[in-house]
Structure 1
Amino acid sequence: MLKYSQSTPTAKLTHHPNSASALFASSEKRNLILCLVLVVATLAVYNVVNQNGFVNYDDDVYVTANRHVQAGLSWETIRWAFGSFDAANWHPLTWISHAADFQLFKLNPAGHHYMNVLLHCANVVLLFLLFVQATQRTWPSLATAAIFALHPLNVESVAWVAERKNVLSMLFLLLALWAYQRYVSKPNIARYGAVFLLFACGLMAKPQVITLPFLLLLWDYWPLHRLQFGATRGGDRMRLGWLVLEKVPLLALSAGSAIVTIAAQQSGGAVRSAIEYPFSVRIENAVAAYFDYIGRLLRPVRLAPMYPHPGESLLAWQIGLAALFVIAVSVLVVRFRERRYLVVGWLWFLGALVPMIGLVQVGQQATADRYMYLPMIGLLFILCWGSANWAGERKTRVFSLLAAAAIILVALGALTYRQVGYWHDSETLWTHAAAVTKDNYVAHVNLGETFLTQERTEEAAAHFRAAVQIRPGDPAAHLNLGTCERRQKNYAPALQEDQAVLRLTSDKGLRTYALVNLGSDYRHLKDYARARESYGAALQVNPETARAFVGLGLLAEKAAAFDEAAKNYTRAVELEPSDVGYLLLSRALQASGQTASSQSALESAQRISPDFDRAQQAVRDMLAE
């Protein structure tokens, strides 16, 4: 057995290594191989995603029903992306990435899904290389990256097309962190400018990365060791004040992003009022959420795309237990603060979650798996570096460590593979969500919407009624119940449901749908004046509502105003080209004597229609109403 000691001659050590040991003799080669292993493992677990379709959970907003995205990459699309508050967000780079995907893949979901997977792979590799460079410790860095790659909590961010913004913003954050490390090694304006630019790009993908200046201060403390409390400026260490001052331009970006984000969310009606969620309730839910997130990290089962906000239903003992846990961990971290990774990991987790913890309540969720994509890294610091140090202090055998790590990673990979399958289609996704959560009215609404698209009206109505029973004030459930009533030609009950939606929500998207539906209700009830008024009100909320223009066109045809009808139908097909829209336009043009234009519209309908006979029957039904 070869023993290394100071007395061992150099010549004795120059034996002929085998090919495996030669590959790992160089840190660059070793890291390259480990990066390839990480990518292969990630692709192996997520490859099944190419069998998944789009789901009825914002995929329509971001891709399948977004005419700007479906215009592909163009200057007009880019202009719209930078000026749009659509989806209650300002994230132009996310819109542009979706437009690029559509340019490449059209509506083939496999391409859209796989781009998310490739971005996740890039994040995994960047995470590993960043940690190796900053800490000079390969195996804890590898463990952190591997768990991040394979953990089921990240499935929502990767397997959901509409959550492109999560993986894309993380890419820019990690690149900004890498640029920051280069800046620290040799400070100059150009390198700082790279940090600033990459941070700006991250914010333009999703403002979840808004806490980067705070995370950089933690990075200064560990692993860069730039921050030393009580030290004077000089050498490699600085006082906190100097390091905060260094982050002022980045803090200005964060402040600007916060202002724009709040404006976008308020514009879209996504911010919930203090009446609906009082501040005391938000604090209670935030404390409980921190506890829940740690639980899901350690036991990632029964995961769902939506965990409805509990409102005031949390019990005192639940809040107390969660608060006690957070305080206890914080005390332990302070007690063992000489292990800097504990301080950084815990504060990273707490701080990175602040924008998504619900103090400003956006949406209906209490927590969301996708919100852990960035904060998870802090807890992985604690787990992986803590385990490595514990094993080193006790001189644990390498084989035992490898076996334990392998078992954990295989288990995580198996759970992730299964979780990806739940995102196969809308029915599978929401059936699973309803099964693993309690009183999930959102799951019932979305499952009902799935059945509506499949013409399973009775099953759909049952789920909408279940949602209303759980949450009587849910506007989406009432909106869809109205659709069920309308399909069964019960126009008066449908009218009541649509009016309920307008009373219950300020969300612009839901109000637009309700106003258009209200116009259809009045039109079927022969109240044409109120129908016109409702369609007009919908266009005031959203001037690009194609269905409202179709409704106005039908009203114009009733009045034999065919030129006006053609004008409205023309605008409708400009906004949302459809076979039914072009057929309506063709008939109106024919009736107004524009034969050539009518023929052109007819040909457009035939060209884009997946089922021309069905489209013709739909038009006959609409005109007969």
Structure 2
Amino acid sequence: MKVAKNIYLLPLVLAIVAMIALFPTFANDFQNSWDDQWQLLQNPFIVDHSYQSILYHFSNFYHGQYSPVNTLAYIAVYKLFGFDPFAFHAMCLWFHVLNVLLVYFALQYLVRELLPDFSIQRVRVFCFLTTFIFAIHPLQVESVAWISASKVVLYSFFILIALLSYIKYIKTGSWYWLLLTGFAYILAFGSKEQAIILPLLLFVIDYGFGRLKGIKINKGFFLKRTILEKIPFFIMAILFWCFSLVNNLGAIGGGNSYPFYQRLLMSMQSMTEYIFRFIAPVKLYYFYFFPIQKGESLPWYYLGYAVLVLIIAYFIWEHYKRQNNLIVFGFLFFVVNLFLVLHIIPMPRKMFTADRYMYLSIVGLAAILVWYIDYLISKYPQYRKFVITSTAIYLMVLGSHTYIRTKDWQNSEKIKSNVRELIEIRKAEGKGIINNPLEDE
């Protein structure tokens, strides 16, 4: 009985901490100036949820987006509570808490494979700290405190279920779990199109379990099976892609005329900025402007981002050669979840980066950070107290920042002031104002 209590104590703590850090969301209102209007309050599918209406919503895009499963969640809340902002914010926070628990239990399986020398107790602490960061990081505020971003926490919920089911498939070999993975994939895509990336995430999980090493079982059958079993998922991804192109021409693969070399450099900038925001989440904004107008030249210093990416790549490569699978896995999980929003593939996005794009990617960077904390404690035991104290202070600062930033999403006027602040900063720096969201009200 004592063992069982210990197993569920840490997840319970994580759930409570997540709710405390984001508790101010319950006092927030709708964002009446922006997406909450068309996506929820004036969405005809919320009030008119007849069978024909829902069927139409599942087979068509709405305002350039496809999220019928998310709309069903809105309908459920509306039926129970009407247009009460408290209820909708509670829904978002509830799914975030569920995601926190799913991340913790998924990490339990993965970390044991990635760090086989760790004791069970050490694995639990590692998973706890990694999930703790995922739960309370300030970059998570936008996804949870903004009702229109509920698509992010909802699609992440189904993605995490898919990944856990896939892990179960790896552990048991039962095709039931693979079918459940596919079903969760459909629901994830119905929540947000970004879920289309799941097949690549399955390969990341394969890497974590050592299934991509080409182990010679029956002359390579093991590796062949690992590839063949992904074919249905890639077929689903292709069908999702074609569905998006047919129903929302330009949403995928178009709408952005920046030349490839500029998109490549901007992808390097956005990736490094996400890493820096993860480490030091200061000056977070609702809207991040593109660096240049289409047709303009990028400043010469953008080559510095290429240098930074090369340094990061060298760092990952060195750990790969040392067979430090945890670092490689964490980086792959980070990059794959961001891939569609790094601008390598042209997408019609008004903002250059967004905090909500980091929602799942935080897990990868958090795992790397916790590995280094554990490494410092193990390598330099004389500084153990200092490292533990510094880590505790860092986590408290993150949680406090999240609590305060959640209040910034109280209403549209607060968000507008956040955008105006960034506009003034850019003007002072002589930078252009591109796709100003204040002009779209």
Report the TM-score, using the length of structure 2 for normalisation. Answer: 0.88
Q: Map 1:187-336; keep pairs closer than 5 Å.
A: 187-222=173-208, 224-229=209-214, 231-233=215-217, 240-266=223-249, 271-274=254-257, 277-311=258-292, 312=296, 314-317=298-301, 319-336=302-319
The AA in structure 1 aligned to 2:324 is R
**How has the CA–CA distance of structure 1 residues 430 and 313 changed in structure 2, closer, same or farther, with 3 Å as cutoff?**
farther
> Are positions 1:125 and 2:101 aligned together?
yes
The range that moved more, 237-246 or 157-166, is: 237-246
Question: Per-residue deviation at 1:316?
Answer: 1.6
Distance 1:475 1:32 in 2: 44
Q: Which residue of 2 aligns with 1:60?
A: 37
* SS of aligned partner of 1:68: helix
The AA in structure 2 aligned to 1:129 is F
Distance 2:27 2:71 in 1: 24
> Are positions 1:410 and 2:396 aligned together?
yes
Q: Which residue of 2 aligns with 1:616?
A: none
Distance 1:316 1:264 in 2: 39
Distance 1:269 1:356 in 2: 11
Question: Per-residue deviation at 1:301?
Answer: 1.2
Distance 1:340 1:95 in 2: 39
Question: Per-residue deviation at 1:82?
Answer: 0.5
* SS of aligned partner of 1:412: helix
Q: Which residue of 1 aligns with 2:407?
A: 421
**How has the CA–CA distance of structure 1 residues 162 and 142 changed in structure 2, closer, same or farther, with 3 Å as cutoff?**
same
The AA in structure 2 aligned to 1:114 is A
> Are positions 1:83 and 2:69 aligned together?
no
Asked if the contact 2:67/2:191 (under 8 Å) is kept, the reply is: yes
> Moved runs in structure 1, 4+ residues, more than 6 A?
267-270, 473-476
Question: Per-residue deviation at 1:83?
Answer: 2.1
Asked if the contact 2:288/2:352 (under 8 Å) is kept, the reply is: yes
In our comparison, the structure showing a higher alpha carbon Rg is 1
Q: Which residue of 2 aligns with 1:344?
A: 329
Question: Per-residue deviation at 1:398?
Answer: 6.1
Q: How many pairs were matched up? A: 421
Asked if the contact 1:89/1:261 (under 8 Å) is kept, the reply is: no
**How has the CA–CA distance of structure 1 residues 45 and 233 changed in structure 2, closer, same or farther, with 3 Å as cutoff?**
same
Q: Which residue of 1 aligns with 2:153?
A: 167
Superimposed CA distance per residue, residues 333-352 of structure 1 (whole angstroms, 9 cap, x where no aligned partner): 11121101111112222222
Asked if the contact 1:88/1:270 (under 8 Å) is kept, the reply is: no
Superimposed CA distance per residue, residues 108-144 of structure 1 (whole angstroms, 9 cap, x where no aligned partner): 1111011100100000111011111332411111111
The AA in structure 1 aligned to 2:27 is Q
Q: Which residue of 1 aligns with 2:348?
A: 362
Distance 1:400 1:475 in 2: 45
Distance 1:127 1:196 in 2: 19
Asked if the contact 2:245/2:252 (under 8 Å) is kept, the reply is: no
Question: Per-residue deviation at 1:394?
Answer: 3.4
Task: Report 1 or 2 for greater relative contact order, CA contacts < 8 Å, sequence distance ≥ 6.
Answer: 2
The AA in structure 2 aligned to 1:331 is Y
The AA in structure 2 aligned to 1:248 is I
**How has the CA–CA distance of structure 1 residues 396 and 33 changed in structure 2, closer, same or farther, with 3 Å as cutoff?**
farther
The AA in structure 1 aligned to 2:269 is A
Asked if the contact 1:169/1:201 (under 8 Å) is kept, the reply is: yes
Asked if the contact 1:226/1:238 (under 8 Å) is kept, the reply is: no
Distance 2:380 2:224 in 1: 39
Superimposed CA distance per residue, residues 139-194 of structure 1 (whole angstroms, 9 cap, x where no aligned partner): 11111110011001111100010111100010011111111111111213222111
Superimposed CA distance per residue, residues 560-596 of structure 1 (whole angstroms, 9 cap, x where no aligned partner): xxxxxxxxxxxxxxxxxxxxxxxxxxxxxxxxxxxxx
Distance 1:331 1:63 in 2: 46
The AA in structure 2 aligned to 1:199 is Y
**How has the CA–CA distance of structure 1 residues 264 and 144 changed in structure 2, closer, same or farther, with 3 Å as cutoff?**
farther
Asked if the contact 1:140/1:384 (under 8 Å) is kept, the reply is: yes
> Are positions 1:185 and 2:171 aligned together?
yes
Question: Per-residue deviation at 1:429?
Answer: 0.9
Distance 2:223 2:307 in 1: 30
Q: Which residue of 1 aligns with 2:119?
A: none
The AA in structure 1 aligned to 2:29 is G
Question: Per-residue deviation at 1:54?
Answer: 0.8
> Are positions 1:49 and 2:15 aligned together?
no
Superimposed CA distance per residue, residues 209-234 of structure 1 (whole angstroms, 9 cap, x where no aligned partner): 22222222122222x223324x3135
The AA in structure 2 aligned to 1:280 is Y
Asked if the contact 1:159/1:423 (under 8 Å) is kept, the reply is: yes
Distance 1:158 1:437 in 2: 25
**How has the CA–CA distance of structure 1 residues 314 and 102 changed in structure 2, closer, same or farther, with 3 Å as cutoff?**
farther
Distance 2:433 2:355 in 1: 23
Q: Map 1:344-493; keep pairs closer than 5 Å.
A: 344-358=329-343, 359-395=345-381, 399-437=385-423, 470=433, 477=439
Question: Per-residue deviation at 1:96?
Answer: 1.0
Asked if the contact 1:81/1:96 (under 8 Å) is kept, the reply is: no
Asked if the contact 2:89/2:147 (under 8 Å) is kept, the reply is: yes
Distance 2:276 2:29 in 1: 30
**How has the CA–CA distance of structure 1 residues 371 and 313 changed in structure 2, closer, same or farther, with 3 Å as cutoff?**
farther
Q: Which residue of 2 aligns with 1:100?
A: 76
The AA in structure 2 aligned to 1:64 is L
Distance 1:129 1:402 in 2: 24
The AA in structure 1 aligned to 2:63 is A
* SS of aligned partner of 2:44: coil
Distance 1:351 1:270 in 2: 17
Distance 2:287 2:412 in 1: 13
Report the TM-score, using the length of structure 1 for normalisation. Answer: 0.63
Asked if the contact 1:271/1:362 (under 8 Å) is kept, the reply is: yes
Asked if the contact 1:211/1:351 (under 8 Å) is kept, the reply is: yes
Asked if the contact 2:251/2:348 (under 8 Å) is kept, the reply is: no
The AA in structure 1 aligned to 2:336 is G
Superimposed CA distance per residue, residues 233-278 of structure 1 (whole angstroms, 9 cap, x where no aligned partner): 359x97644322221111112222222234444377995242xx33
Distance 1:103 1:241 in 2: 49
Asked if the contact 2:289/2:433 (under 8 Å) is kept, the reply is: no
Asked if the contact 1:89/1:264 (under 8 Å) is kept, the reply is: no
Distance 1:309 1:183 in 2: 42
Distance 1:85 1:252 in 2: 21
